[in-house]
Structure 1
Amino acid sequence: MPADDPTPSDSDARVRPPVPPGHYRIGRFLGVNVLITRSWFLLALLIAYVMAPVIEEVEPGLGGWKYVAGLVLAIVYAFTILVHEAAHAVASRRYGHPVENITLHFLGGHTSIDGGARSPMQEFVMSVVGPLASLAVSAVAWLVVELLPDGLTGLVIVTLAWANLVLGVFNLLPGLPLDGGRVLKALVWGVTRNEVRGTLVAGWAGRVLAVVSLFLPLLMHRLFDVVPDTSSYAFALVLAVFIWMGATAAMQGARLRRRLPSLVARRLARRTLAVPADLPVAEAVRRAQESEAGSIVTVDPDGRPVGIVHEAAVLAIPEDRRPWVPVSAVARSLVPGMTLPVDIKGEELIRAITFLPAHEYLLVEPDGSIYGVLATADVDQAFRERHR
């Protein structure tokens, strides 16, 4: 939709990730951290300024308090945005996707979800629940209005009813990055069985929406006789840029994911030589050259791998000292995350090497036997070649 403080324990750190720059944590909602950006404060001031004359008309004599009432309206509106985003969060967690946080900003809100939908149905449900929640809030607000007398409270409820109606309908428009774009992606994905194609179709639809957004003030003038002003055109431009950039980013990500399956660890592996950890560097290098191995792995007396020799560290040792330095001195100890299955590929491979950055990783067969070594440099080169 266009639309973190010190941690006393490890478990709390997992619940409360660091707050990104320009963001502020304001609490939790349905178990999810809620952040606001600096741009939200600009939105709140804008709402207070725009609504002040209307509030003055409904409740004359408020003076400066009309701006305070406008800020209260902005806060209540933010809560309804939170309901929209919380619907996304609940649906995502229902499908097993952890939710990092909900962020409120100038153009609405955003729910940060760890991982994407695994099926068209998941994508559809996770996307559509947000707009439906906004439409439900709008419907409830209209029912409440019927029970309230005219006045400031009635004005707030009517404004929220209209705002959430517009929010729900607007987000159902079929183009990324809007929720309706994700619904369109799910439909195309379901029909073609191709997630990337669904994203590209929804992305192009989003670009069309971005262009149409530029003409929104003129459209409002023709349909509702609302005379556009400078702020209307400025908002239309900001909205168009937001939609265009979001759609473009989604399309670029889809093209990237289309290339990722060709990154297979087995194909990129370097042939490796297993040597005792106390073997001199000179002898290890000689054996590796003799066997045409591109990497060296140190093993313990039982033959279990314990480290990967770092090529740059070997080259840094003068040749006259290599016979006296054990190969373990230039090997990085294998820690959890540095041993990967040889058949790992695509996004899973990228996530694995991103989770624990290293120069090399040990690749093992399903039975635990050593297959080879995967160098990060080889993955980067293969990715660049496939990205051209």
Structure 2
Amino acid sequence: MSTPVSRPEPGPDRPSRPPGTLKVGTLAGADVLVSSSWFLVAGMIAVLVAPRVDEVTPGLGAWKYVAGLVFAVILYGSVLLHEASHAAVARHYGYPVSSITLHFLGGATAIEGEAKRPVEEFWIAVAGPLTSLAVGGVALALHPVSPDGLVLMAVEGLAGANLLVGILNLVPGLPLDGGRVLKSAIWGITSDVHRGSIVAGWVGRVMALGALLWPSFQSEVLGWPVGLVDYVVAFVVAMFLWSGASAAITSARIRSRLPRLVARDLARRTLAVPDDLPLAEAVRRAQEAQAGSIVTVTADGRPVGVVNGAALVATPEDRRPWVATSTVARTLSDGLALPVDIDGEELVRAITRTPAAEYLLVESDGSVYGVLTASDVDAAFRAGGR
């Protein structure tokens, strides 16, 4: 299984690579990572292929397992080409690609950011299956001229595996590439990217149920022999599809609420006071002005802090005349002053990068517009879901 995975833009605190992975190189501008689960599947392939190796080249002994392992590496080399095509197209459209990871069920390409247009989503997604079909076609064309033995076996395996991967990845359900193709089509028709994700996610859930029932269909309808391994593989694939589809649906529903988050609309009216003004007087002036927040400023009117509501409440009233307002204000460090027109996903990313209870909202000319509280953003988000 393969899919390009869109991720938030990188930040300074993001780890260089996920835990449990080993970097083996760079391709198409991205780090190539191998997960620990890959070694398990490579060993399984080596064991499963060994009897076939013994048939085509008898007398290898234990070396047949080495040949099976080499076949696994060659097979995953074609998976790497599949993922590299996703990465190349994404980079063509200007999206950074941080890594390509080979894992138990295939591969994943980590693309930083979401596609901005349906056509970009389509070509990034479809590039992988087309590459697999092309590799399978080339291997099929080489079949008649390949020498007997291990070479012919490898060519047959590459042809069959890549044609199968190419076709299966075009199944129109998330998290498969075909799901992103379906998403791009619905997005293009309805101009609603979230609707495209939800529809493709539900199709992915149906595909998951189909994968789970496939061994029974093989046995009861087709009359093919089915063993324990078939049921285990079907279960693993079904769980992969179901979890990926469910995550896509949940993410789309959450993202559909984000456009309703507009900082200007959520801003609290604020009162600017000198940072050395007694806290009691600052509170009195704010109540008189019906302001929902207080900003401390220097003598020349430059904002330097935002009063923290929790710190204010925690200060006893009998102490407020004797402490400066600055003692309960958070200094305006980087990330605490936001443009008043920020909204949607950009707003969520900004407050996620710099967690705080309050943020100062400023106009394009630097003047103070108001204060945005994290609790108001959270309340607006929850209200958008009802």
* TM-score (normalizing by structure 1): 0.91
Aligned to 2:247: 249
- Partners of 2:217 and 2:127 in 1: CA distance: 28
Residues 240 and 50 (structure 1), Cα distance of their counterparts in 2 relative to 1, 3 Å cut: same
1:227 aligns with 2:219: no
Aligned to 2:213: 215
1:140 aligns with 2:125: no
- Can you give the 5+ residue segments of structure 1 that lack an aligned partner in the other structure? 4-12
Aligned to 2:362: 364
Aligned to 1:64: 62
Aligned to 2:96: 98
Alpha carbons 1:16, 1:33 under 8 Å: kept: no
- Partners of 2:212 and 2:312 in 1: CA distance: 60
Aligned-pair Cα RMSD in Å: 2.2
Amino acid at match of 1:193: S
Question: What CA deviation, in whole Å up to 9, does each residue of 1:342-374 have, x standing for no partner?
Answer: 222221211111122111111122332211111
Secondary structure of the corresponding residue to residue 145 of structure 2: coil
- Partners of 2:350 and 2:134 in 1: CA distance: 41
Q: 1:19 aligns with which of 14, 17, 20?
A: 17
1:30 aligns with 2:28: yes
| 1:337-376 matched pairs, under 5 angstroms | 337-376=335-374
Aligned to 1:43: 41
Which sits farther off after the overlay, 225-234 or 131-140? Answer: 225-234
- Partners of 2:33 and 2:239 in 1: CA distance: 23
Alpha carbons 2:146, 2:155 under 8 Å: kept: no
- Can you give the 5+ residue segments of structure 2 that lack an aligned partner in the other structure? 4-10
| 1:231-310 matched pairs, under 5 angstroms | 231-310=229-308
Question: What CA deviation, in whole Å up to 9, does each residue of 1:23-82 have, x standing for no partner?
Answer: 332332222112222221221111111101011111111111111211121122222111
- Partners of 1:226 and 1:80 in 2: CA distance: 29
Amino acid at match of 2:285: R
Residues 15 and 147 (structure 1), Cα distance of their counterparts in 2 relative to 1, 3 Å cut: farther
- Paired residues in the alignment total 379
1:383 aligns with 2:357: no
Secondary structure of the corresponding residue to residue 96 of structure 1: coil
- Partners of 1:37 and 1:170 in 2: CA distance: 22
- Residue 233 of structure 1 and its aligned partner are, at CA, apart by 1.7
Amino acid at match of 2:96: P
Q: 1:335 aligns with which of 320, 333, 337?
A: 333
Residues 331 and 294 (structure 1), Cα distance of their counterparts in 2 relative to 1, 3 Å cut: same
- Partners of 1:321 and 1:222 in 2: CA distance: 80
- Partners of 1:74 and 1:84 in 2: CA distance: 15
1:117 aligns with 2:134: no
Question: What CA deviation, in whole Å up to 9, does each residue of 1:160-179 have, x standing for no partner?
Answer: 22111111111011111110
- Residue 125 of structure 1 and its aligned partner are, at CA, apart by 0.6
* TM-score (normalizing by structure 2): 0.91
- Partners of 1:274 and 1:357 in 2: CA distance: 23
Aligned to 2:194: 196
Q: 2:80 aligns with which of 79, 82, 93?
A: 82
Alpha carbons 2:281, 2:321 under 8 Å: kept: yes
Alpha carbons 2:89, 2:124 under 8 Å: kept: yes
- Residue 283 of structure 1 and its aligned partner are, at CA, apart by 2.0
Aligned to 1:323: 321
Amino acid at match of 1:371: Y
- Partners of 1:157 and 1:320 in 2: CA distance: 84
Residues 82 and 15 (structure 1), Cα distance of their counterparts in 2 relative to 1, 3 Å cut: farther
- Partners of 1:133 and 1:226 in 2: CA distance: 31
- Residue 138 of structure 1 and its aligned partner are, at CA, apart by 1.4
Residues 215 and 319 (structure 1), Cα distance of their counterparts in 2 relative to 1, 3 Å cut: closer
Amino acid at match of 2:123: V
Alpha carbons 2:29, 2:97 under 8 Å: kept: no
Alpha carbons 1:186, 1:198 under 8 Å: kept: yes
Percent same amino acid at aligned positions?
Answer: 57
Amino acid at match of 1:309: V
- Partners of 1:366 and 1:160 in 2: CA distance: 58
Amino acid at match of 1:242: F
Q: 1:313 aligns with which of 301, 311, 314?
A: 311
Secondary structure of the corresponding residue to residue 25 of structure 1: strand
Secondary structure of the corresponding residue to residue 58 of structure 2: coil
- Partners of 1:146 and 1:329 in 2: CA distance: 82
- Residue 385 of structure 1 and its aligned partner are, at CA, apart by 2.6
